[in-house]
Amino acid sequence: MSSDSAPPQDASAPFSGAADPEESMPPSDFIIRSGDLVDLHVHKDILKFVSVFFKNMLDGADPNELQRDGKPIVVLPEPISVLYRLLSIAYPGRSAEYCSLSEQTLDGVSVVYQTANKYLFMAAQKSLRDMLEDPTLLRAHPHRLFAIARLCDLPVLARKAALCTLESPVCSHPLLFLEMELLTAATFHKLYDFHHSCGTAAQKIAEETGGPLHIFGIGDPEYYHITCTSTNSGSATLVWWQYLKSSANECGSADVDEEHWGYPRRTAAQWFRNHAARLGTKLRAVPARHTVEAEALKIAPADRSVIDGCPNCRYKAEEHLASFAPQLAVYIEASNLKLAQDL
């Protein structure tokens, strides 16, 4: 673009070039001209410090370069909206409004990041990554942060955003944001597949917590401590696994064995198997910790009647479910993290 096709305009403060009596910084000595002909008045030494690209360029500057008011000019193709925002993040004493991100300021952030990468503003890139990984922002806009991560080639952010999408049902609301237009459908299908895989795995884990032991008294090694927590003597500590003659029929377990008195049941009490199946259905839709926390203590009326009729479960079921829930949540989260590695 020709620099004299239109008169250049000065950027707004702090890159206007105007002296600020409250500013301790020396006068600017360099101009970055945007693709839409706006001049940003900056400092060579600062540019060399914050950008490898500008350090290399300024260390070998051409004495016949374009100038304005005695200041060398470099013309970049990016618009002022991008360059101003990038410099505001990279420059010392940057404006507070550029030190964090919100739903409104997410607009264009992927282009700013890509520009920082292009001109090797390394510290600015890190600042942007830290802003994008803010937990509050991720939980509020996980799908959009996933899209931004893909556009900016940020796999860690992509995994964090994908994990946050698990806190709501898949496709629970339309995805209407700018970055959607820049990504392929295959990219978002991968995100949906991830949600489905996590839901399927979480449902399986929940259901297996009430499933049969593979070897009597020794549970599935991966889930043993939540399917059948035992002491060194082998006796069950979770009530739905406890084997007592007086309560075996009342709490719905038909799986009793005189020979293995005092050891865990081969299968959990029927009420708990019902409970685990319902919990698994909920987790299939929303495979997240808060689903376990919200649903693990909700007992269906029919199962409540069984529990109330059992002299053993009546006093221990709720206490043991409260102990069981956080353990199950740990396994759900571990499963989600493992699946996220493939994103």
86 burial level (CB within 10 Å; 0-12, 13-18, 19+): buried
Q: Whole-model pTM?
A: 0.83
CATH 3.30.710 positions along the chain are 1-98
Residue 244 pLDDT: 62
Residue 233 has pLDDT above 60, yes or no: no
pLDDT digits (tens, 9 = 90+) for 257-306: 555 555 667 778 889 999 999 999 999 999 999 999 999 999 999 999 98
Residue 216 has pLDDT above 50, yes or no: no
How confident is the model over 164-174, as a mean pLDDT? 81
Choose between 334 and 63: higher pLDDT. Answer: 334
Residue 3 pLDDT: 46
Q: What tokens appear for 312 in the block?
A: 């053993």
Choose between 21 and 336: higher pLDDT. Answer: 336
Residue 318 pLDDT: 93
Residue 184 has pLDDT above 90, yes or no: no
Choose between 229 and 149: higher pLDDT. Answer: 149
Closest CA to 35 of 54, 65, 72, 8: 8
Model confidence at 210, in pLDDT bands (50, 70, 90)?
confident
Residue 69 has pLDDT above 90, yes or no: no
Q: Report whether CATH 3.40.1130 matches the domain 1-98.
A: no
Residue 212 pLDDT: 76
The string of DSSP letters for 147-209 reads HHHHHHT-HHHHHHHHHHHTTS-TTSS---SGGGGGS-HHHHHHHHHHHHHHHHHHHHHHHHT
**Omega cis (within 30) before 14:** yes
Residue 68 has pLDDT above 60, yes or no: yes
The string of DSSP letters for 81-145 reads HHHHHHHHHHSTT--GGGSS--TTTTTTHHHHHHHHHHTT-HHHHHHHHHHHT-HHHHHHSHHHH
Residue 201 pLDDT: 95
pLDDT digits (tens, 9 = 90+) for 74-114: 999 999 999 999 999 998 766 556 667 877 788 889 999 99
How confident is the model over 226-245, as a mean pLDDT? 66
Residue 213 has pLDDT above 90, yes or no: no
